[in-house]
Structure 1
Amino acid sequence: MNHAFFIVKVVKSPIHLMFKDYETIEIKVEFPTSRQKNSKNEILLLLWGDHRDDFLKYYKVQDYLLIEGIITLNATNTNKEVKVTVKKLYPFLLL
């Protein structure tokens, strides 16, 4: 199953997207620390509905989030892109 939980840090402002009648946002995030030097550290979050509205209202760049979602991988010959469709979103305080 592609269901996962992550703690991530928001690194870029959201990009607004339109899919037919749905407004979504795409946000670039990264893991707080990388475990290996050459491991990929950034993923894209796809938020829609109430999660989109909550993110725009309460969160900003440099915030930490606990997310629950479904992982998808778009692989081409030159680029691999990991996206997570967010099902639940929580603030996270990292001390």
Structure 2
Amino acid sequence: MNHSTFVVKVIEKPVRLIYKGCQSIEIKVKFPAPRQKNSKNELTLLIWGDHKDDFVKSYKIQDYLIIEGTLTSKGYINDGNDGNEVKIIVKKFYPFLLI
């Protein structure tokens, strides 16, 4: 398993997905500050179950989150590049407050 934890910023509205009767949402996020200029800093989050409803009710664009989940790139081909798009299947998420 590729369990990982990230601090991310929500950059797009959630997109609802329905596959074989299961509902989920897909959200584009990015790291707050990339380490290198040419590094890729955007990810896609997949959230389902009760977590998807909590996310839609509580979070909006420009919010920061701490996410825990499983990192995956298998089977997700990015149209813009030859490489694979990285997605995270979210297990838990928490608000991250910048004061």
TM-score band, normalised by shorter chain: over 0.9
Q: Give 1:60's aligned residue.
A: 60
Equivalent residue in structure 2 for 1:83, among 50, 64, 87:
87
CA RMSD of aligned residues (A): 1.4
Take 2:98 and 2:73, find their aligned partners in 1: how far apart are those partners? 28
TM-score, L = length of structure 2: 0.90
The structure in which a higher percent of residues are strand is: 1
Where in structure 2 are there 5+ consecutive unaligned residues?
Answer: none
TM-score of the aligned structures, taking structure 1 as reference length: 0.93
Deviating above 6 A after TM superposition, structure 1's stretches of 4 or more consecutive aligned residues are none
Give 5+ residue unaligned stretches, structure 1. none
Match of 2:25 in 1: 25
Distance 1:65 1:50 in 2: 17
Q: Specify the code of the residue in structure 1 equivalent to 2:97.
A: L
Provide the identity percentage: 60
